[in-house]
Structure 1
Amino acid sequence: MLDLDTREWLLTNGLGSFASGTVSDVRTRTYHGWLFAATNPPSGRTLLFSHLEASLEVLGSVVALGTNFWGNGQMEPTGCELLRGFDINPVPKWIWGQDNWQLTRQLVMPYGWEGSSEWGVGSGEENHTYHSQFCHRTLIQYRYDGSDTAILRLRLLIAERDFHHQQAVSPNLHFSQVLGQQQVCLQAINSGHFGIPWHLRWTQGNYQPDAVWYWNYGLPEETKRGLGDKEDLYSPGYLIVTLQPGDTVTLEARVGFPDPMPSVLTPDTFAEAVEAEQERLSQIFGWREGGRGAEEQEKDNYQSPISNTQYLPNTSVREAALLYETLRERQSSVTMPTATLSTSVQSSIWQQLLRASDQFIVYRASIAGPTVIAGYHWFNDWGRDTLIALPGLTLVTQRFDLAKGVLRTFGHYCRYGLIPNAFPDVDGEPFYNSVDAALWWIETLGLYLEATQDWQFLAEQFPVVQQIYKAFVSGTHFNIQVDAIDGLVSWDARGVALTWMDVVIGVHPVTPRHGKPVEINALWYSALCWLSQWAERLSQLEFGEPVRLTKQAQRYAQQAQRVKTSLQKFWNPQLGYLYDTIDLDDRRNFQIRPNAVLALSLYHCGFSEQQGCQILDLATASLLTPYGLRTLDPGDPEYKGKYEGNPEQRDRAYHQGTVWAWLIGPYIRAWQRFYPQQSLPFDWQPLLNHFLFDACLGSISEIFDGDSPHTPRGAIAQAWSVAEVIRHIK
C-alpha cells in the first residue's frame, strides 16, 4: 500500500460548520467532507457535500485524481500518486500533475455570519433570523495549466447524515435534484421527510444527471477507534468542463434553496472570498493597524513556514521537522525558549496561532451569543473548556468584547450557584454537571477585570459571584458544599464525574474524585481572594453600600485565610507533592497527577514557595513531556501509556497517563511563580513542529500518548491546547 500522508486540514465558518480532509486527499474519517453544515449553530452538524471525484482527460488519456479506501481494504483509484504538492496557507491547495499538465484545486469556507466581522458583546437577548444572518457554504476552484486542451470531469458525492454517523443505502432514502442555469438544487427525502436543501453552482461546464450509489467506502481511522467504518455515498450526476491552458472553474456549495436574485459567481469569487477572510482576521487582530510598518515589510521578504512549504504526499513528520529545523537555521536562531526566532518567523507563527484560535469562536443560536467549540471534529462547546481557554483566545489577543460576551452569557445562565457545563441544542435548561465551571468562571472573570479594569462589568456581575458563593457555602446539587469544619469544598454524587477528569463508563467514573479534589479547593481559595478584593473595590468605587461591602470584603478575606490553612491537608511531606483528593472519610489519594500543578497556577496561590518548588520538581520529573503534562505518573500501576483501541479502552486511558497539551499553560505559570529566575525546562520546538507540520496542520491536538514518541490522539484541533500556547509563546 502507498505511504499516504494522512495529516489533516480544517476549515470552519464561525457557526460550527466545517470542512476537513487529508493532505493526500483520501477520506479516513467519518468527519471528512467538504460541507458539514451546522443547521442549528453550532450544532445540528450534517454532512451534505462529501467531495468531488475528479478525473482529467488530456490528449485522449484519462487519469483519475481521487484516492479512496474501500471496505474490502483496497485503495482505488490512487490519484495521490500524481500529487506534486500541497499547501495550507492561506487555504488548502493541492497540485496534481504530469509532464504536460498541472491541475490545482483550492477550497475555502467563507465566514458564515454575513454582514459581521466580529462578535458583539452577546447579552443572551438578541434575536437573529437564520436566513438573513447565517450562510453555510464552501467554494472550490480548479485551475488547469498545460500545453493542450483538457476535459475535467467532476462527479458529485453527497450525503444527508449526522456528522457522527455514516450513511448507508436504504430503500427509504432518496435524493431529489432540480437543474437550473449552471446550478443544481439537491435535497434528501428519507421515509417521506424532507432533508436540508442545498445547491451547487459553477462558473462553466455541462452537468449530466447520472444517479448512482457508491457503496462501501472505508474509513481506516474509524477502524482504529473501534467505531463504524463503512460509508455509502450518493452521486446525483457529474459536471464536464472543457479547459484551455490557464482556465479555472469555480464551484459553490451553499445551504438553502437558490436565491431568486443570486450574486454572480465568477472566476474571481474564490479570490474575493479568501481576501475577505484575510481582511476579517486582520480587523480582529489588528494586523494592519497603523499602515505597513517595518515588521510588515519584513514579512514580505519571508513567507511563513506553512506558506513556504510544499507538503509532498510522502513527506513524513520527521522530514517536516527537519524542514522546520532548516528554516530555523536560516534565521540564525537557537533553541527556544532561551532565544527567540527572528522577528519575521515569530510573527508568522503568531499569526498562524491567532488564525487557529479563531476557528473555535462560534455563535450559538440557542443562547443568541458567542461560545467556544472545545475541539474539532466532534466536540460541541463545554463550559469548563470555554472558561479555561478564554484568557488565551480573547484576553491575550485583546478580543475583550468577546470575552465579556461569553462571561456575561455564562453568568446569565447561572443556576443553583452553578455555571453550565453544556448548553442544549434546542429549548431546554443547560447541563450543570460540573463542580468547577462556576469557580473557573470567577477565575476567568478576575483575569478579564485585571486586563480591562472594567469595574462597571464587575458591578453588573457581582450578584452572580455572590450567588455562587452562597450556593457553595449552603450547599447545592451533587452535594457540593463547603465543609463547616475546615472550609474546603467537597462533593458527593455517585455515578458521575464533576471535575475535568470526567470519564464515566456505565455508572463508574474511571477517576473517581468525589470528596475534596485539590484543584477545586485551590480554585475556591482563589475565588475567595477575588471576592474580598472585588467587594473592597466596589466599596471604594461606590457601586453599592460601602459599609456593607467593606464588611463583606473582610469576611471573604477571613474565609480565604481559613481555606489557605486547610489547604495544608493536601500536603504530602513524604512525597513532596499534593494529595489529589481527600475522600469524605478523610482518606488521601497520593497519585501523582497534574492537578497539583493546576493548584499552583491560579492567580491566587495558597501554597508556600518551598512546597511549590518541590511539587514542580516532581511534576517535571514524572509528568512533563514535550507536548504537555501526563495525567498520571508512569510509575503508577494504573498508568496507561497509549490512548488507543475501542471506545472503552480509550476512555480508560483518557486521564490515566495520556498527555494533555493544555496543561503546559498551568505548568508554565506555576514555574514562573516559583522559579522566576530559572529557565523554563521546556523546549517549544516539538510542540511548534506539531502545530506547523503534524496531525492537523495549523492547529494543536487535544491529547498525546503518555509513552514516547507521544503520538497525537483525540480531537485534531483543541481550543484550550491552542489557547494555552497563545498565552505563553509570545
Structure 2
Amino acid sequence: MIKSIREVDDEWLLTNAFGGYASSTVGCINTRAYHSLLTSASSTGGVRVQLVNTLEERASFNPDESYYLSTHRYRDAYHPDGLNRMLSFGSDESGVWWTFKLGSNILLKRFYFNRWEESFRIEYSSGGEFSVEIRPLISFRNHHDVIKAGAVPYSVRSMDLERVAIKCEPWPLSLVMKLAGGGYKHESYWYYGFLYEEEAARGGNSVEDLYSPGAFTAKGRQVVFEAWVEPARRVKHTLKQTPLSTYLAFNPDPLIVAGYYWFWDWCRDTMIVLPTLYSSTGDIQLVDAILERYFNSMRDGFLPTGFDEAGKPFYNSVDTSLWAAYAVYAICGQTSSLSLALKYKGKLEEVFEGYKNGSMLGVKVVDGLVYHEAKGATWMDAYYEGVHYTPRNGFAVEVNALWLLLLKLLKSTTATTPELEQLQEEISEFKSSFNEHFPSAFGLYDTLRADLQPLDPHEIRPNMLFALSLHNDLVDGKTAIRVLESTRRELLTPYGLRTLNPGHPSYRPRYEGDRASRDAAYHNGTVWPWLLGAYVDGCLNYDESSVESTRYVIAPLLTLAHSKNYIINEVFDGEPPHTPRGCVAQAWSTAELLRITEKLSHINTPQSH
C-alpha cells in the first residue's frame, strides 16, 4: 500500500501557446481525466485532444534489481509502487522535476514542456549508468471524455529503431515518440480500470482504460525521452513572460484561456484580465488584437459571451460589452491616452444604442438604469437541468455600475456639445435613479425587480462593490462605508470574497459533490479570489485606512500566490479550511491578484517601535 497519498496530490500545470497543456499531481498519479503529459490544441483549435496520459517507468542499476518510478490509481489498488521511492518534487521556469532513491542510487527525472511547440522532453539522469524502460499510456480523446478498451482504433508505425508514430481517427495529427539512443519494441496492451478520484468526487466519468503501443528501452548516465505532435507548428511571438503567459494562446488569433482545465475563451474573463496583461507586458498591439476580435464579433451592441471550442461565438450575457468598455477605460488610464477609446468609439456607441434599444436578452434602459429579463445572464450564471441558481434578472447592481462607466467613456471621447449634453443628462439621470433605489441598510441591494423593489432584500453579495471600485462619485460616503463594513463582516475571507452572506437560506459552505450540488454553491457562498480586486479598489476610493488590514487578512492567499507564481484556483470553499476548488488555474484570479499586489505594495506598513 502506498503511504502518504494525500501529501502528494497537489497539482502542477504547464501550458503552451496553443492552449494545450501538461498536468498531473506531485506524485504523478492522475486524479483527473484532464491530467496528461501532452494535451494538444495546435491542429484542432479549441478542441483539446489528450494524447499521452501517463507513463509506466522502470529503472535498474544492475541486472538483478529493477525499480518502478510510476504509480497509478486503479479501481481497487495503487500500482506499481514507484511513489514509495520518490524523494522530492520541484519546479522552475522550464518545467518540473522529481528525485527517486533506487537502492543506493539517486535518479533525477526532469520534465520539460515546450511553450512554443507541442512537445515535451523527459531527462532521466544519475551518477552511475542505469537502464530504463518506458511504456507510454495513451488515449487520443477529447480531454473532457474518457475511453474504454477497444473503442479507439490506433494506427502504430515504427519510424526507425528509436521512434514510433501513432495516429487515430478522426484527429488530424500524429503523436511521435522517441527514446534517444534506445530501442522500441511494439508490444501493445490495454491497461484497465484507471480511477480518477477527483472526477469520482465531482460525479463525472471517473474510470478509464488506456492503451500502450509498446515499450522503449535505453541505457546510460542520461536518457532522454521525447514526444511531439505532427504536423509540427510553432508560435512565433516575442512576449515578456509573466504569470499571465500561462493563459495566453495563439490559436490562431491571440486569446486568453479563462481557466484550466475545462474553460476556453470567455469575453468577460478576458476583459477583466486585459488591463493587467497590458501593465505586465506593455504590449498594446497584443491587447488591441484581442479586443478587436471581440468587437468584430459584436451583434446588436452585444459582444459574445465567448467563443466555443470550434471558434464560434455565442451570446447569452448581458454584461460582456460593458466589461469591454471597462477594459478600454482601464487601459486608457494606464497609457494616459484616449487612442484606444477613440479607435473603438464607433463600437462603443453601438453598445450604447444596443442597450438603449433593448435588442437582446430583454435589455432596456428604464429611468436611466439597465434592466435585463434573461435569467443567468450575469457572471453569476450557474445553471443545470433547468435550474438557474442565481437568476438575477432585473436591475443588477454591477451591470449598472458598468453602464455608468460606458457613459463616462463615451463622454470622454465626445467633442460636440449636443452629444456631451445628452451623455451628461444620461449620467445625471442614472446617478439619481441608482441612489434612489439601490441603497439598503447593509449598503446596496444586489438586484432589483422590474418594479424597482429588491429581488431579495436579505441577500448580501459582493457585486455591490463594483459601484465603489469603478467610481468614486456614484454613492455617498455613508453608503460606501456600509458596503465595505458588510463586506468585511459577511463576505471577506483569507482567500477572497464569499458570494453570499452565511446567514442566507441559500448559502452553501462547500463547493463539492455532483454537478447540481456544485452549481448550487457556485455563487451562493463559494469564495472567489478575483473579487478582491473590487474590494481593494473600493477601499482605496472610500476608506483607504482599511486597506492595510486587508493585506494581513488575505496574507494566506498572497503567500500561496507567491509560491505558485500567481497560478491560483478559480474558487475556494466558503468556510475554513477554504479548500481550493474548481479550475486549478483561473486567469482572472491571477490577474486581479497581480493587480492588487501591486497596489498593496504602495501602501505604507506601520513600523513597530
Q: Contact 2:242–2:280 at 8 Å: present in 1 too?
A: no
- Aligned partner of 1:487 in structure 2 is 368
Instruction: Describe how 1:614-625 pairs up with structure 2 within 5 A.
Output: 614-625=482-493
Q: Is 2:384 the partner of 1:500?
A: no
Name the structure 1 match of 2:20.
Answer: 17
What amino acid sits opposite 1:558 in the alignment?
A: E
Q: Structure 1 residues 40, 562: CA separation in 2 closer, same or farther (over 3 Å shift)? A: farther
Other-structure match for 2:227 = 253
The one of the two structures with greater contact order (alpha-carbon pairs below 8 A, sep at least 6) is 1
Q: Does 1:77 align with 2:80?
A: yes
Check conservation: 2:258, 2:266, Cα contact below 8 A.
Answer: yes
**Whole-angstrom CA distance in 1 between matches of 2:65 and 2:262:** 41
Give the Cα–Cα distance (whole angstroms) in 2 for the partners of residues 188 and 250 of structure 1. Answer: 25
1:194 and 1:581 map into 2 onto residues whose CA distance is 46
SS in structure 1 at match of 2:549: coil
Q: Does the 8 Å CA contact 2:499/2:524 hold for their aligned counterparts?
A: yes
Is 2:156 aligned against 1:156? no
Q: Where does residue 471 of structure 1 map in the other structure? A: 354
Of 55, 58, 64, 1:55 maps to 58
Task: Please state how far the C-alpha of 1:40 moved relative to its aligned partner.
Answer: 4.9
**In 1, Cα distance between equivalents of 2:442 and 2:561:** 34
Q: Give the superposition deviation at 1:236.
A: 0.7
- From 536, 551, 565, the counterpart of 2:418: 551
Q: 1 CA distance for matches of 2:509 and 2:248?
A: 32
Cα offsets for 1:251-277 (capped at 9, x unmatched): 221111589xxxxxxxxxxxxx9xx99
Cα pair distance change 1:181/1:62, threshold 3 Å:
closer
Match of 1:289 in 2: none
SS at match of 1:662: helix
Contact 2:437 2:453 in 1 (8 A): no
Structure 1 residue matching 2:173: 3-state secondary structure: coil
Corresponding residue for 1:31? 34
User: CA 1:581–1:200 in structure 2 vs 1: closer, same or farther (change >3 Å)?
Assistant: same
Find 2:251's aligned residue among 331, 341, 364.
364
Alignment counterpart, residue 453 of structure 2, candidates 587, 599, 610: 587
Tell me, yes or no, if the aligned pair for 1:421 and 1:434 is still in contact at 8 Å: yes
The answer to whether the 8 A contact 1:183-1:200 is kept is yes
1:177 equivalent in structure 2? 157
Distance 2:171 2:490 in 1: 56
Percent identity at matched positions? 31
Q: Say whether the 8 Å CA contact 1:185–1:258 is kept in structure 2.
A: no
1:578–1:596: 8 Å Cα contact kept in structure 2?
A: yes
1:663-697 superposed Cα distances (whole Å, 9 cap, x missing partner): 0111000011111244433224201332255xx77
| Offset of residue 599 of structure 1 | 2.1
Task: Give the deviation of 1:423 after TM superposition.
Answer: 1.4
Task: Give CA deviations for 1:120-175 in whole Å, capped at 9, x if unaligned.
Answer: xxxxxxxxxxxxxxx421222111223xx321111111111100111211256334
Which deviates more, 646-655 or 407-416?
Answer: 407-416
Q: How far did 1:411 drift?
A: 1.5
TM-score by length of 2: 0.92
Gap regions ≥5 residues in structure 1: 113-134, 260-272, 286-353, 540-548
Contact 1:481 1:490 in 2 (8 A): yes
Aligned to 2:603: none
Distance 1:557 1:194, change over 3 A: closer
2:259 pairs with 1:378: no
Q: CA deviation at 1:181?
A: 4.7
Counterparts of 1:619 and 1:455, CA distance in 2: 34
Structure 1 residues 433 and 32: alpha-carbon distance in aligned structure 2, compared to 1, 3 A threshold: same
Q: Alpha carbons of 1:688 and 1:242: their partners in 2 closer, same or farther (altered >3 Å)?
A: same
What residue is the counterpart of 2:539 in the other structure? Answer: 671
Aligned counterpart for 1:727 among listed residues 595, 604, 607? 595
Aligned residues: 589
> Is the 1:532–1:554 Cα contact (8 Å) retained in structure 2?
no
Contact in 2 for aligned 1:691/1:700 (Cα 8 Å): yes
Classify the secondary structure of the residue corresponding to 2:106: strand
Distance 1:170 1:395, change over 3 A: same
Q: 1:396 to 1:174 in 2, by over 3 A?
A: closer
Query: CA contact under 8 A between 1:532 and 1:553: conserved in structure 2?
Result: yes
Question: What is the match of residue 284 of structure 1?
Answer: 239
Other-structure match for 1:652: 520
| Structure with higher strand content | 2
Distance in 2 between residues matched to 1:671 and 1:169, nearest whole Å:
57
Say whether residues 1:431 and 2:314 are aligned partners. yes
Q: Is the 8 A contact 1:207 1:240 kept in 2?
A: yes
Matched, 1:633 2:516: no
- Map of 2:604 onto structure 1: none
Match of residue 186 from structure 2: 209
Identify which range, 649-658 or 502-511, moves more after superposition. 502-511
Describe the shift of the 1:690–1:172 C-alpha distance in structure 2 as closer, same or farther (beyond 3 A).
closer
Of 371-380 and 179-188, deviating more is: 179-188
Shift of 1:621: 0.8
Tell me, yes or no, if structure 1 residue 527 matches structure 2 residue 406: yes
What secondary structure is seen at the aligned counterpart in 2 of 1:587?
A: coil
Say if 2:179 and 2:217, in contact at 8 Å, map to a contact too. Answer: no
The Cα shift of 1:10 comes to: 0.6
Deviations 1:179-203 (A, max 9, x none): 32521111125xxx56631211232
Per-residue deviation, residues 554-576 of structure 1 (Å, max 9, x unmatched): 21122111101111134444x23
Q: Deviations over 1:43-86 (max 9, x none)?
A: 110111122211111221111110110012x1111211111111
How far is 1:109 from its partner? Answer: 1.9
Aligned partners of 2:492, 2:355: CA distance in 1, in Å?
33
1:44 corresponding residue in structure 2: 47
Q: 2:154 aligns to what SS in structure 1? A: strand
Partner amino acid for 1:221?
E
Equivalent residues of 1:42, 1:380 under 8 A apart: no
Between 1:498-507 and 1:643-652, the stretch displaced more is 498-507
Q: How does 1:388-399 map to 2 (within 5 A)?
A: 388-399=272-283
Cα deviation for residue 237 of structure 1 reads 0.8
Q: Partner of 1:2 in structure 2?
A: 3
Quick one: structure 1 residues 250 and 603, their matched pair in 2 at CA, closer, same or farther if it must change by over 3 Å? farther
Q: For each residue in 1:294-326, what CA deviation from the matched residue of structure 2 results, as whole angstroms up to 9, or x when unmatched?
A: xxxxxxxxxxxxxxxxxxxxxxxxxxxxxxxxx
Matched residue, 1:569: 436
Q: Do the aligned partners of residues 194 and 161 (structure 1) sit closer, same or farther apart at CA in structure 2, a change above 3 Å counting?
A: closer
Q: Report if aligned partners of 1:11, 1:19 keep a CA contact under 8 Å in 2.
A: yes
Q: How far apart are the structure 1 equivalents of 2:45 and 2:245?
A: 14
Matched, 1:452 2:339: no
* SS of the residue 2:168 aligns to: strand
Q: 1:3 to 1:697 in 2, by over 3 A?
A: farther
Question: C-alpha displacement at 1:518, in angstroms?
Answer: 0.7
Tell whether the 8 Å contact from 1:396 to 1:727 is kept in structure 2 after alignment: no
- Residue 687 of structure 1 pairs with residue 574 of structure 2: no
Residues of 2 paired with 1:597 and 1:669: CA distance?
9
Q: Is the 8 A contact 1:86 1:93 kept in 2?
A: yes
Write the distance in 2 (CA, Å) between the matches of 1:631 and 1:639: 9
Going from structure 1 to structure 2, the CA distance change for 1:52 and 1:692 (only over 3 Å counts) comes to farther
Q: Single out whichever of 522-531 and 464-473 deviates more from structure 2.
A: 522-531
What is the Cα deviation at residue 704 of structure 1?
A: 0.3
Aligned twin of 1:86? 89
Distance 1:455 1:171 in 2: 57
**What is the root-mean-square deviation in Å for CA atoms of aligned residues?**
2.2
How far did 1:458 drift? 2.7
Seen in structure 2, the aligned counterparts of structure 1 residues 635 and 520 have a Cα distance that, compared at 3 Å, is same
* SS of residue in 1 equivalent to 2:307: coil
CA-CA distance at 1:27 after TM superposition: 0.9
Instruction: Note the C-alpha offset of 1:41.
Output: 6.0
1: distance between equivalents of 2:232 and 2:507?
Answer: 55
Residue 177 of structure 1 contacts residue 236 of structure 1 at CA under 8 Å; is this kept in 2?
no
Q: Is the 8 A contact 1:11 1:20 kept in 2?
A: yes
Look up the SS of the partner of 1:681 in the other structure.
helix
- The 3 A distance-change label for structure 1 pair 42 and 716 is farther
Cα shift readout 1:648-674 (whole Å, capped 9, x = no counterpart) = 100100000000010011100001111
- In the alignment, is the contact (CA less than 8 A) between 1:26 and 1:69 conserved in 2? yes
Aligned partners of 2:310 and 2:198: how far apart in 1? 31
